Structure 1
């Protein structure tokens, strides 16, 4: 074996090895990854009228925020706008990533608003169904009296076969 063949796999420069990267891992010098604080959850009470027409809900939060020195903190108020879309179900979650308290040790928590129906005397939600009819009524036709949000009763006549999702 020739001496040149022995070192042929290594980059050679003038007088020796160049561009050789000898790296090692040292836990004391590796950057530590911050852990995210647990999410902060708030109920968002919405009336059926608001869900029926969709709306924007403005929520004021107060959180601790780091100063530019990344060590001291200050209190800050912020308005978060939740866009409630028409027909959303109770339990729908809206997340605002990393809007919670900020510290030098942790990543800010997510703020989560969970849609909750406002209690009402007049009407209540029945899951996502507007009305319920039997299979017989769906196939043969029927008249259903529907109570509206403004407390009127309207007869709705179904003459054709009723299909899922009809309006």
Structure 2
């Protein structure tokens, strides 16, 4: 290479035979002093290494340069494969790539995101996040005669499936969910009893399957724990007439015979909100044909914040999915010889007329 190789062990001020845990500790010790995002009011707590009498070859450099070097050094030495390549082939092998027994090792390139390395080590933007959180948001404690004093831990959440009919999804509704939970029934928190509790579930029009309704800390009450959440998960109940598709579209299937497929027909669809739609089919219903009726599907549920939800509470929902009508062909189960003869004659005559029409169209095109 055209420049002197950098000694990553010297950058972190550690010997070459250290363990990965010691590499991480060395990086942490230097990172809390050099991180440019540290709180300025705590700068006096982070004495530069030079003032501690621990001079390194990085000490004369600016802190921003030291910060870049220690992150690059840890990115290499903190990875077992990169460290092995660096130990054997040096920085040149690391940057240029080497041929290994099990294949080619491509050139290493540092990504340049110093904070990504920092947060990977500290699992947070701040190395003192856990301490600060404990001060600003102290844990809940319990103190009872039976269990003594300790920290309350939250119970596991309870999840339940709530099946909604498409009619309920179409108009929206209110569900009163009755749950049985353990409750503390005396002041000394020594006696528990199962009691019925009612939760009010507001289903918005157009609610999609998988929507989660969380009631925070509404689970069982125990003296030494924080109640878990009760979560209801919406699911579609099978409908005898319609099927939901693409979240807000409805699919309706209608049976037709071959005569209807050729000549057209009229039928009626009873909607989820008790209306009746007149459907006119004048096209030839070929395999895969669909009739789409716009805005006759389910309402499109909107995720609104509290302010907009109040403002639009009495407004009519104008956005709907579509009604998709699909057709099933009903073939005759049995044909008598006479019926087969008539069918054969019909298709022969049909094909003759079809050829005459094609010939007329061809003549017209030649004339133009």
What's the TM-score, normalizing by structure 1? 0.62
2:224 maps to 1:105: yes
SS in 1 for 2:247: coil
Deviation at 1:104, TM superposition (A): 1.2
Q: Which residue of 2 aligns with 1:75?
A: 194
The CA RMSD measured in Å over matched residues stands at 2.9
Take 1:166 and 1:78, find their aligned partners in 2: how far apart are those partners?
Answer: 36
Structure 2 unaligned spans of 5+: 1-148, 252-266, 281-292, 296-317, 321-368
CA contact (8 A) 1:89 1:127 kept: no
- Closer/same/farther in 2, CA of residues 58 and 154 from structure 1, 3 Å limit: farther
**Bigger relative contact order, structure 1 or 2 (CA pairs below 8 A, ≥6 apart):** 1
- Structure of greater Rg: 2
2:208 maps to 1:64: no
SS in 2 for 1:32: strand
Take 2:201 and 2:150, find their aligned partners in 1: how far apart are those partners?
Answer: 34
Deviation at 1:114, TM superposition (A): 0.4
> How many correspondences in the alignment?
119
More helix by share: 2
More strand by share: 1
Take 1:157 and 1:104, find their aligned partners in 2: how far apart are those partners?
Answer: 56
Take 1:66 and 1:86, find their aligned partners in 2: how far apart are those partners?
Answer: 37
The worse-fitting range, judged by mean Cα deviation, of 148-157 and 64-73 is 148-157
Take 1:106 and 1:146, find their aligned partners in 2: how far apart are those partners?
Answer: 58
Structure 1 unaligned spans of 5+: 1-30, 133-144, 159-164
Take 1:53 and 1:46, find their aligned partners in 2: how far apart are those partners?
Answer: 11
Take 2:240 and 2:171, find their aligned partners in 1: how far apart are those partners?
Answer: 19
Take 1:80 and 1:54, find their aligned partners in 2: how far apart are those partners?
Answer: 17
SS in 2 for 1:45: strand
Deviation at 1:70, TM superposition (A): 1.6
What's the TM-score, normalizing by structure 2? 0.29
Q: Which residue of 1 aligns with 2:152?
A: 34
2:178 maps to 1:53: no
CA contact (8 A) 2:219 2:230 kept: yes
